[in-house]
Amino acid sequence: MSNPFHVTLDNGIAEMVFDHPPVNAFDSKGWAAIAAELERLGESPEVRVILIRAEGRGFCAGVDIKELAADPNLIVAVNKGNYDSFKAVHRNPKPVIIAVHGFILGGGIGLCGAADILVASDCARFGVPEVDRGAMGGGAHLQRLFPVQKVRHMYFTGEMIDAAEAYRLGAVERVVKREELREAALEIARAIAAKSPEMIALAKEALTGIEDGNLEDKYRWEQGFTLQAYRSLDSQEARDAFVDKRAANFKG
């Protein structure tokens, strides 16, 4: 499979665009490719800012559930791809701006929770349907976006937060119309790209260093529970029901 994204570079701004219909859900190889490209961009002296956005119905629906339904053992490779991708955003030496529209689910939440700045269209909706898919993960990154009790409500119920609420809670820098999203993100990227690369790199490293706790260690803790979840019969039933488009019949 070819990479589920394309990348352009213009005046120091690297633009990674997800384009993997129908919902920008990535398999284990797709997530590995995203991580590798983000690391490459972070190391490139030509890149000053990274912008991630998407084409299609929504920003990112997370992992490819059909791949995992067919082979649950691939959860290890998927976990690694997610971990590496989120880390490649959070620990990237370059500022990472993410522009979102439509649905932001699962791994999409991880990317947004790892980012430096978020811009959203007014149609954006954030959610974590993990428990309904027999999985765990994403709480650490979600908690970097929203308050603790809001995160737990989202996680336990599967209910989503819209762009206006995300802005009210401080997770999103701007909310704009869908057709204005790319330009709004580029406006911020240009302002950062015009500054001293050395000073911006130092600023990102300093700001990451003063965060409470270690985001990657927290996520690694969560991934242990993801593996435990995938060993349960309810987890397999959740994935099978999703693929079959039917109600799940849980026995646990």
Residue 69 is predicted with a pLDDT of 80
Question: Each residue's pLDDT tens digit in the chain (252 positions)?
Answer: 589 999 999 999 999 999 999 999 999 999 999 999 999 999 999 999 999 999 999 999 999 988 888 888 898 899 999 999 999 999 999 999 999 999 999 999 999 999 999 999 999 999 998 888 777 778 999 999 999 999 999 999 999 999 999 999 999 999 999 999 999 999 999 999 999 999 999 999 999 999 988 999 999 998 888 778 777 888 778 778 878 888 888 876
The C-alpha atoms of residue 74 and residue 59 are separated, in whole angstroms, by 23
The C-alpha atoms of residue 215 and residue 142 are separated, in whole angstroms, by 11
The C-alpha atoms of residue 249 and residue 247 are separated, in whole angstroms, by 7
Using a 10 angstrom Cβ sphere, with 0-12 exposed, 13-18 middle and 19 or more buried, the burial of residue 170 is: exposed
* 4 token code pair: 């589920």
Give 102's DSSP letter: S
Nearest alpha-carbon partner for 59 in 94, 10, 116, 106: 106
Give the H or E element holding residue 64: none
User: In sequence order, what are the residues at sequence separation of 6 or more whose Cβ sits closer than 8 angstroms to the Cβ of residue 227?
Assistant: 75, 76, 79
Nearest alpha-carbon partner for 154 in 106, 116, 214: 106
CA angle 114–117–119, rounded 5-degree value? 115
The C-alpha atoms of residue 4 and residue 6 are separated, in whole angstroms, by 7
Residue 1 is predicted with a pLDDT of 52
User: In sequence order, which ranges of 17-116 are alpha helices (DSSP H)?
Assistant: 28-43, 65-70, 75-90, 107-114
CB-facing half-sphere around the CA of 83: CA atoms within 13 A: 16
